[in-house]
């Protein structure tokens, strides 16, 4: 394997890792209001990802940085094409992050409800836009021989891209529901299970449709490839596991499902990095967009040294915050009632008033 191909693989792995880890963060953000019936329940849902969400978002930064460093031509054309979408994505991620920190800064229902709505919207918009972008580079965009995007916003909103974005939103929602089933107890746990049973059939149908559509549009073989088949089987497995109340297996199945969907996109893309709908000769490939060999060598050494450290640190974080969370952890403490003071008689048994007693401090 050449360094060029290796770095395409690394970028595919980083994008997959981002969706696996941030996928359930997005799902919890979408469902935190539905899985709870009071403020304590919403706080419990949010705190399942409280120590994790900002670390998971780092994978998105790494994915963008790796594309910029390894394939600057790919980065330039893709970010030019999706400039408006990326601005909206950035706004959604910012609003989502601020909502985590600000919703508890003021003790009023209107304040918290405003941030809850923004958290939900940001958690839906982010995977939708990323899904549209990843599907767009596979399906094809108007790109000329100078590697310039020559289309407009309408060219980005394609049926396949929109379907992929909706599929990823649904799978993230199911991923988040199964994560909440694993991480919570009590009424929050039961509500998460019920939501998972509601979402699972829709998500499974969308994954099957995505796998078939991806194969028909971007493959020359009759039979679907192993990655697409794995996405379908994992989606069906998640459906059965949810209804069988196998929380751990359901979360594992949604993890495989979302990973397979992302890998299927990159598998269909290689050796291209962006497909030109104008002329196949204008496709951006790993070869005509890559950095020089020396740059790739230096980057490879950095990844070999630092990536294991990052993985160990993140695994340790998940281990430390592994316990289940209940909404009772966030309910206000009930103070014991103070017994009334004994009544002091104001008269003697003979009916004579009791003199006031003066105590010195």
Q: Is it the case that residue 349 has pLDDT exceeding 60? A: no
Q: What confidence score (pLDDT) does residue 273 get?
A: 95
For residue range 24-45, list pLDDT tens digits in order: 999 999 999 999 888 888 899 9
Q: What confidence score (pLDDT) does residue 360 get?
A: 45
Neighbouring residues of 214: CB distance < 8 A, sequence distance ≥ 6: 138, 228, 264, 265, 268
Q: Is it the case that residue 334 has pLDDT exceeding 60? A: no
Q: Is it the case that residue 219 has pLDDT exceeding 70? A: yes
Compute the average pLDDT of residues 4-14. Answer: 95
User: Is the pTM here over 0.75, yes or no?
Assistant: yes
Alpha helices in the chain (DSSP H): 3-31, 39-47, 53-70, 72-81, 83-102, 109-139, 153-156, 159-183, 186-218, 226-243, 247-269, 293-320
Percentage of the chain exceeding pLDDT 90:
67
Q: Is it the case that residue 356 has pLDDT exceeding 60? A: no
pLDDT-derived band at 346 (thresholds 50, 70, 90) equals: low
User: What is the Cα–Cα distance from 328 to 188, expressed in whole angstroms?
Assistant: 10
Neighbouring residues of 10: CB distance < 8 A, sequence distance ≥ 6: 66, 70, 303
Q: What confidence score (pLDDT) does residue 358 get?
A: 47
For residue range 93-130, list pLDDT tens digits in order: 999 999 988 888 888 888 999 999 999 999 999 999 99
Q: Is it the case that residue 325 has pLDDT exceeding 50? A: yes
Q: Is it the case that residue 338 has pLDDT exceeding 80? A: no
pLDDT-derived band at 134 (thresholds 50, 70, 90) equals: very high
pLDDT-derived band at 166 (thresholds 50, 70, 90) equals: very high
Any idea which of 10-24, 116-130, 223-237, 317-331 has the lowest mean pLDDT? 317-331
Any idea which of 59-63, 195-199, 252-256 has the lowest mean pLDDT? 59-63
Q: Per DSSP, what are the bridge partners of residue 272? A: 285
Any idea which of 7-11, 150-154, 321-325, 328-332 has the lowest mean pLDDT? 328-332
- More confident call, 158 vs 355: 158
Q: What confidence score (pLDDT) does residue 63 get?
A: 92
Q: What confidence score (pLDDT) does residue 321 get?
A: 87
Q: What confidence score (pLDDT) does residue 359 get?
A: 47
For residue range 193-204, list pLDDT tens digits in order: 999 999 999 999
pLDDT-derived band at 132 (thresholds 50, 70, 90) equals: very high
CA quadruple 226, 228, 234, 240: dihedral, nearest 10: -120
Neighbouring residues of 305: CB distance < 8 A, sequence distance ≥ 6: none
Mean of all residue pLDDT scores within the chain: 89
Read off φ and ψ for residue 308, nearest 5 degrees: -60, -35
> Computed over its alpha carbons, how large is the radius of gyration of the chain?
27
User: What is the Cα–Cα distance from 254 to 26, expressed in whole angstroms?
Assistant: 13
pLDDT-derived band at 344 (thresholds 50, 70, 90) equals: low
Domain spans of the chain?
3-200+268-330
Angle at 307 between CA 305 and CA 308, to 5 degrees: 80
Q: Which of 225-248 are b and which e, b meaning 16 or more Cβ less than 10 Å from the residue's Cβ? A: eebbebbbbbbbbbbebbeeebbe
């Amino acid at each position: 394997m050449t360094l060029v191909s290796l770095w395409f693989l690394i970028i595919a792995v980083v994008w997959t890792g981002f969706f696996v880890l941030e996928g359930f963060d997005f799902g919890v953000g979408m469902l935190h209001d539905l899985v709870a019936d009071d403020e304590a329940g919403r706080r419990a849902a949010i705190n399942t990802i409280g120590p994790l969400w900002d670390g998971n978002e780092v994978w998105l930064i790494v994915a963008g940085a790796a594309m910029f460093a390894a394939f600057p031509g790919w980065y330039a054309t893709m970010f030019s094409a999706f400039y408006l979408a990326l601005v909206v994505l950035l706004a959604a991620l910012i609003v989502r992050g601020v909502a985590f920190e600000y919703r508890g800064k003021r003790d009023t229902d209107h304040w918290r409800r405003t941030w809850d709505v923004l958290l939900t919207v940001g958690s839906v918009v982010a995977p939708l836009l990323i899904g549209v972008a990843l599907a767009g580079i596979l399906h094809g965009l108007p790109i000329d021989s100078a590697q310039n995007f020559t289309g407009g916003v309408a060219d980005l909103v394609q049926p396949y891209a929109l379907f992929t974005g909706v599929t990823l939103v649904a799978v993230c929602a199911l991923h988040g529901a199964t994560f909440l089933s694993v991480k919570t107890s009590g009424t929050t746990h039961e509500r998460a299970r019920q939501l998972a049973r509601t979402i699972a059939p829709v998500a499974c149908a969308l994954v099957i449709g995505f796998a078939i559509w991806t194969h028909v549009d971007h493959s020359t073989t009759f039979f679907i490839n192993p990655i697409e088949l794995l996405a379908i089987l994992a989606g069906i497995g998640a459906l059965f596991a949810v209804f069988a109340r196998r929380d751990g297996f359901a979360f594992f199945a949604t993890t495989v499902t979302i990973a397979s969907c992302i890998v299927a996109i990159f598998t269909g893309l290689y050796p291209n990095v962006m497909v030109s709908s104008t002329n196949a000769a204008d496709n951006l490939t790993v070869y005509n967009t890559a950095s020089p060999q020396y740059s790739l060598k230096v980057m490879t050494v950095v990844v070999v040294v630092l990536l294991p450290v990052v993985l160990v640190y993140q695994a340790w974080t998940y281990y430390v915050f592994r316990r289940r969370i209940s909404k009772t952890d966030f309910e206000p403490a009930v103070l014991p009632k103070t017994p009334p003071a004994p009544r002091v008689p104001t008269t003697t048994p003979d009916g004579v008033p009791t003199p006031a007693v003066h105590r010195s401090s």
